[in-house]
Amino acid sequence: MYKGSARAYTNIALIKYWGKKNEELILPMNNSLSLTLDAFYTETSVTFEPNQTADHFVLDGVVQDEKATKKISRFLDLAREKAQVNWGAVVESRNFVPTAAGLASSASGLAALATASNAALNLGLDDRGLSRLARRGSGSACRSLFPGFVEWEQGEDDETSFAQQIPSNDWEQDLAMLFVLINDQQKDVSSRDGMRRTVATSSFYPGWLASVPTDLAHAKSAIATQDFTALGEVTEANGLKMHATTLGAVPPFTYWSPDSLVAMNLVRQLRQIGLECYFTMDAGPNVKVLCQRKDEDALKQALSQHFAPERLILAHAGYGATVI
């Protein structure tokens, strides 16, 4: 029996990954840049057993169905192939997210599974190898291996597409991100389906793609000079452009719900009265608000006029994935 356990934290992109140029290898259309956070994480253990033929996946104590297990099996196949083992595995995963979060995190989950598999099977992967492996499970997972600011270099093949930490003199410790958890009845469009549809059909997609290198350069220079205004402005603009591509898709769709718009408007109003903060969103209705740590209490206070306190969760810069 081979066993390994690991913890990995979630990350939120400031410059978004949106669209794949290779679905099988999960090679993205563009570079992305994220902040790893401390508030949400996943702990996963994987046990490969000699007499086991099938894989089993238990998430938060619940045995998962065939579809969810298949995704895990496909990922484990990559690790098994590297180790030249064909044993089945039991994967037990726990998501540590505050109650009522509604935040399923494939990034922390697959980063934890990659790290646990590396330990269990003695794959001996270094940071780059681990990031490449995690990428095959879920694109954004390749960024969750590392703390602080992280850039995922899109690359052109399996070897060249991986993430690495961006030097920042620990500036991320001065920042905070407030999650506004928005209850939404709408049926989700997964990030995978959403990307596929916008790449294939949205007339706005080429405009998005053309604008990313400039946004990325601005974000990196803002990090280098510790310019919060510049980082916030490019984060908000980049996220809005990504979401605009979904409106041009056929058929069109959006991840925004009425309360997402309420949160976005509040952020703009707060800025006008001097509380500097900026929003971003991913493939769901939740709004994430970037601010400086010194303003986090005031921001939470202001947003709690409109959103219940248990729907507001504060996060700070988090840690890289570790074996536990």
How far is residue 141's CA from residue 198's CA, in Å, rounded to a whole number?
A: 21
Q: Based on the shown chain and the rule CB under 6 A, indicate whether residue 282 belongs to the binding site for ligand PMV.
A: yes
- Distance CA(241)–CA(247), nearest Å, equals 10
**Residue 16 or residue 136: which is nearer to ligand PMV going by CB?**
16
Asked whether position 139 contacts ligand PMV by CB under 6 A, the answer is yes
Q: Could you say whether residue 283 binds ligand PMV (CB under 6 A)?
A: yes
Task: Choose the binding region for ligand PMV from 11-19, 72-80, 153-161, 285-293 (rule: CB under 6 A).
Answer: 11-19
Q: Which of residues 164-193 bind ligand PMV (CB under 6 A)?
A: 191-192
Single out the residue of 17, 146, 149, 208 in contact with ligand PMV (rule: CB under 6 A): 17
How many amino acids of this chain bind ligand PMV (CB under 6 A)?
Answer: 13
> Closest Cα partner for 303 from 272, 273, 264?
264
Q: Shortest gap between Cβ of 124 and ligand PMV (angstroms)?
A: 25
Pattern of binders to ligand PMV over 91-110, x per CB under 6 A? ---------------xx---
DSSP-derived 3-state class of residue 92: strand
CB atoms within 10 A of CB 206: 11
The per-residue DSSP string of 73-138 comes to HHHHHHHHHHHT---EEEEEEEEE--TT-----HHHHHHHHHHHHHHHTT----HHHHHHHHHHH-
Q: Give the 3-state secondary structure of residue 61.
A: coil
Tell me the closest approach of the beta carbon of residue 190 to ligand PMV, in angstroms: 8
**Minimal distance, residue 61 CB to ligand PMV, in Å:** 23
Identify which range of 9-17, 61-69, 181-189, 314-322 contacts ligand PMV by CB under 6 A.
Answer: 9-17
> Which amino acid makes up residue 122?
N
The structure tokens listed for 232 are: 């916030």
Nearest distance from C-beta of residue 54 to ligand PMV, angstroms:
25
Instruction: Indicate whether 260 belongs to the interface with ligand PMV (CB under 6 A).
Output: no
Buried b (16+ CB within 10 A) or exposed e, 129-150: bbbbbbbbbbbbbbbbbbbbbb
CB of 30 or CB of 73, closer to ligand PMV: 30
Query: CA–CA separation, 103 vs 125, rounded Å?
Result: 29
Q: Which residues contact ligand PMV by CB under 6 A?
A: 13, 16-17, 32, 106-107, 138-140, 191-192, 282-283
